[in-house]
């Protein structure tokens, strides 16, 4: 293992459950400790080709299954897309490959089943292709070691949140509004916890695409046209997953368009369903915080949902005693917090430091996460 210096650059790559693009972040850390302050040198979101995104979204909605040949080809295509994103960011930033110590690649999650007799989590995006194309070593496959140790393999970002955003002066929650919503609980005193709270952009995006042809609800305008259907909201909140205690995690294979359609009675206006899905995200987040950290003073929001003013307003209404603010108020671009986290996880791997928090994932202990692919 190596000890990264304060001059080393790392590049993080992730495509989340929303499949809205590959987030790439070039990061410098001020110091060698796990708590070193990150500096975002450059960040950009690179769109998927339309046909590949359509396939990924369909797979996430359980529209069809793949043959082994299809899985292999998809692994290659995703790896190529990630490699192109990393190269494009380094080129745009004017950063030579030799200046980047490692690329941390999350990959694209296809399935996440951490329960049962054969638990697994599956992310595609061949790291060999990224290393070969970019000429930079890659750390990837972060989740499966935690699953092997009895954990969920998710969420992993809370370790980064704890290193960067904890303060002894107040109880905080870091809320990531991606395809799935997840929280990191950072009490002023006490153990860090974190878990998925339920659906966020993934369901709203799928419903919006199905009814408007638009990939997502810009500014929450579609939801703003409707009204919350309280009976539908109650049926959705009755999903047993919401009552499960942490640690817990989920994905599109749990909360997909078919799950919503199964709860409909047939006469609901599309805009009302969109408003109800938005309310579902806010309510499930609020319920989780009320149960797990009722005195949360500040909720720091990141992820794509931070750009939906209707969703942020709904959160303020259901969490009236908490300050709701973007991670930008703390010097972290909300669009690239997760990509920065995987740059940090690559750094922790090279330093031989654990990247999981057992209290968050349920693993049997601390583990160094990921596998290294040499340049």
pLDDT for res 253: 81
Q: Quote the CA–CA distance of 365 and 358 in Å, as a whole number.
A: 6
Task: Give first-to-last CA distance, the chain, whole Å.
Answer: 15
Tokens for 219?
């500014």
Residue whose C-alpha is closest to residue 298's, from 208, 184, 135: 184
User: E-strand spans in 68-222?
Assistant: 100-113, 120-124, 138-140, 172-177, 180-186, 193-199
Instruction: Give residue for tokens 């419903």.
Output: 207
Q: Is 190 exposed, middle or buried, given 0-12, 13-18 or 19+ CB atoms closer than 10 A? A: exposed
Give me the helix-helix angle, 50-60 and 68-93, nearest 10°: 130
Q: Quote the CA–CA distance of 375 and 55 in Å, as a whole number.
A: 30
DSSP output for 271-299? HHHHHHHHHHHHHHHHHHHHHH-TT--EE
Residue whose C-alpha is closest to residue 364's, from 218, 194, 247, 199: 247
pLDDT for res 20: 83
Residue whose C-alpha is closest to residue 328's, from 303, 350, 361: 303
Contact between residue 117 and residue 322 where contact means Cβ atoms under 8 Å apart: no
Domains and CATH numbers, the chain: 9-155+336-373 (3.30.420.40), 159-330 (3.30.420.40)
Tokens for 277?
């899905």
Q: CB neighbours of 236 closer than 8 A, spacing ≥ 6?
A: 260, 263, 276, 277, 280
Q: What is the pLDDT along the chain (375 residues), one digit of tens a residue?
A: 555 555 589 999 999 877 889 999 999 998 888 898 999 999 999 999 999 998 888 887 665 678 899 999 999 999 999 999 999 999 999 999 999 999 999 999 988 889 889 999 999 999 999 999 999 999 999 999 999 999 999 889 999 999 999 999 999 999 999 999 999 999 999 999 999 999 999 999 999 999 999 999 999 999 999 999 999 999 999 999 999 999 898 988 889 999 999 999 999 999 999 999 999 999 999 999 999 999 999 999 999 999 999 999 999 999 999 999 999 999 999 999 999 999 999 999 999 999 999 999 999 999 999 999 999
CA atoms within 13 A on the CB side of 320: 1
pLDDT for res 246: 92
pLDDT for res 59: 82
**Strands 138-140, 37-46: parallel, antiparallel or unpaired by DSSP?**
unpaired
Backbone angles phi, psi at 214, to 5 degrees: -95, 140
Q: Quote the CA–CA distance of 235 and 261 in Å, as a whole number.
A: 11
pLDDT for res 3: 59
């Amino acid at each position: 293992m190596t000890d990264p210096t304060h001059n080393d650059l790392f590049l993080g790559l992730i495509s989340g459950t929303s499949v809205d693009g590959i987030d790439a972040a070039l990061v410098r850390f001020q110091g060698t400790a796990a708590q070193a302050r990150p500096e975002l040198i450059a960040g950009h979101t690179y769109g998927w080709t339309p046909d590949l995104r359509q396939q990924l979204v369909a797979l996430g909605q359980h529209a069809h299954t793949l043959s082994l040949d299809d899985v292999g080809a998809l692994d290659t295509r995703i790896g190529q897309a990630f490699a192109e994103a990393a190269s494009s960011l380094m080129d745009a930033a004017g950063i030579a490959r030799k200046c980047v110590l490692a690329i941390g690649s999350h990959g694209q999650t296809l399935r996440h089943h951490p329960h049962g007799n054969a638990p697994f989590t599956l992310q595609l995006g061949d790291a060999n292709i990224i290393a070969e194309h970019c000429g930079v070593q890659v750390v990837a496959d972060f989740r499966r070691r935690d699953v092997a140790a009895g954990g969920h393999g998710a969420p992993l970002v809370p370790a980064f949140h704890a290193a960067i955003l904890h303060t002894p002066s107040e109880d905080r929650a870091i809320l990531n509004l991606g395809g799935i919503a997840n929280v990191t609980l950072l009490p002023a005193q006490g153990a860090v916890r974190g878990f998925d709270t339920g659906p966020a952009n993934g369901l709203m995006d799928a419903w919006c695409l199905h009814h408007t042809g638009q990939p997502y609800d810009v500014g929450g305008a579609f939801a703003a046209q409707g009204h919350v259907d309280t009976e539908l909201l109650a049926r959705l909140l009755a999903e047993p997953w919401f009552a499960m205690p942490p640690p817990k995690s989920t994905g599109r294979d749990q909360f997909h368009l078919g799950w919503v359609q199964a709860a409909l009675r047939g006469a609901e206006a599309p805009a009302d369903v969109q408003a109800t899905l938005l309310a579902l995200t806010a309510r499930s987040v609020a319920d989780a915080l009320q149960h797990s950290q009722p005195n949360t003073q500040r909720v720091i929001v990141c992820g794509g949902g931070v750009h939906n003013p209707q969703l942020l307003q709904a959160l303020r209404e259901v969490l009236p005693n908490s300050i709701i603010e973007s991670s930008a108020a703390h010097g972290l671009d909300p669009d690239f917090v997760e990509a920065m986290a995987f740059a940090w996880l690559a750094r922790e791997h090279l330093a031989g430091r654990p990247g999981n928090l057992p209290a968050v994932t349920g693993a049997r202990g601390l583990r160094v996460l990921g596998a290294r692919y040499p340049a």
